[in-house]
Amino acid sequence: MTKISEETQETRTGGLTSKPVVDRKDKQQKRESKNVMQVEDLNLWYGSNQALYEINMDVPEKRVTAIIGPSGCGKSTFIKTLNRMVEMVPIVKTSGSIKYRDQDIFNGNFKQEYLRTKVGMVFQSPNPFPKSVYDNVAYGPRVHGIKKKEVLDEIVEKSLKDAAIWDELKDRLDANAYGLSGGQQQRVCIARALAVEPDVILMDEPTSSLDPISTSKVEELVQELKKKYSIIIVTHNMQQAARISDKTAFFLNGELVEFAETDDLFQNPQDKRTEDYITGRFG
């Protein structure tokens, strides 16, 4: 079940001044938790179409945050804003602020490249490069200037192990990643994201194109990964959100309707709209 693992509070490096998550349960239990990202009054427009309205959200460190909501409510837009990927669409305008470990990511001096090194992303459909498994996973480290074969070998092995696919692929590192199954490709993409050693991992419906077995592998993996990483995962599947996340955010029409501990949100929703959605009384 979902509960905060005790070690998350101990393994944290001190010195960062983040305020505790302000939500009901945390207040009730007076539990302290650090935030890795803080979103304040975020608005986003595609041209003249507003897609996000006044979003405020604190993303807790080393936990899994699920984002649910009906199609078109702005889930992808929101998480792509967190690594500024959304700006690949030229007409996008934003207002408000997003902080990554107390640094404003929209600040001109804050490099996008740095942000994306720290805030990695796994996409909806597997998107390996048309290169070997090894070159896929080594891509990030190479981009960041690591050239030594031994170092790269080590990173590749570690990342593939962390992505729970080393045993399947250790003899096929030279094979083209396009020749793998969809589930394998997605885990290679996760390994590729891990190789950069990010702090936060954004996942946009990472299992939506996978079969049930691959899906449960990725879900198990997410549970493993949260020991080291803060994870934000978009999902269409409420059971999945309930299974794997610690906190859940419910989006509707570009608004963040409710954000709470996953158990609370599903068992005791505060907002009528959340209740309608999770009980299926919703379009």
Ligand X SMILES: Nc1ncnc2c1ncn2[C@@H]1O[C@H](COP(=O)(O)OP(=O)(O)OP(=O)(O)O)[C@@H](O)[C@H]1O
**Residues contributing to the site for other proteins (CB under 8 A):** 83, 85, 88, 90, 113-117, 120-121, 123, 125, 127-130, 139-140, 142-144, 178, 189, 192-193, 196
Q: How far apart (Å, rounded) are the C-alpha atoms in residues 170 and 174?
A: 9
Q: What is the contact mask toward ligand X in residues 62 to 101, using x (rule: CB under 6 A)?
A: -------x-xxxxxxx-----------x------------
Only segment of 22-30, 73-81, 91-99, 273-281 that touches Mg ion (CB under 5 A): 73-81
Give SS3 for 193.
Answer: helix
Cβ of residue 49: shortest distance to ligand X, in angstroms?
6
Q: How far apart (Å, rounded) are the C-alpha atoms in residues 149 and 259?
A: 45
Beta bridge partners of 66: 233, 248
State which residue, 86 or 169, has the beta carbon closest to ligand X: 86
Cβ of residue 207: shortest distance to other proteins, in angstroms?
17
By CB under 6 A, name the one of 5, 43, 46, 132 that touches ligand X: 46
75-114: which residues touch Mg ion (CB under 5 A)? 76
Beta bridge partners of 94: 44
Q: In this structure, are residues 222 and 207 in contact, taking their beta carbons and an 8 Å threshold?
A: no
The encoded tokens of residue 87 equal: 């700006």
The answer to whether 235 contacts Mg ion (rule: CB under 5 A) is no
State which residue, 13 or 71, has the beta carbon closest to ligand X: 71
User: Would you give the distance in Å from CA 111 to the centre of its chain?
Assistant: 20
| Beta strands, E only, 61-104 | 64-68, 92-100, 103-104
Q: How far apart (Å, rounded) are the C-alpha atoms in residues 171 and 168?
A: 8
The encoded tokens of residue 204 equal: 């946009």
Binding-site partner at residue 77 among ligand X, Mg ion, other proteins, none, CB < 5 to 8 Å by type: ligand X
The encoded tokens of residue 182 equal: 């969809």
Cβ of residue 121: shortest distance to other proteins, in angstroms?
4
- Other beta carbons within 10 angstroms of residue 46's beta carbon come to 14
197-256: which residues touch ligand X (CB under 6 A)? 236
Instruction: Tell me how far apart the 2 most distant CA atoms of the chain are, in Å.
Output: 56
Residues that bind ligand X (CB under 6 A): 46, 49, 51, 69, 71-77, 89, 236
Residues that bind Mg ion (CB under 5 A): 76
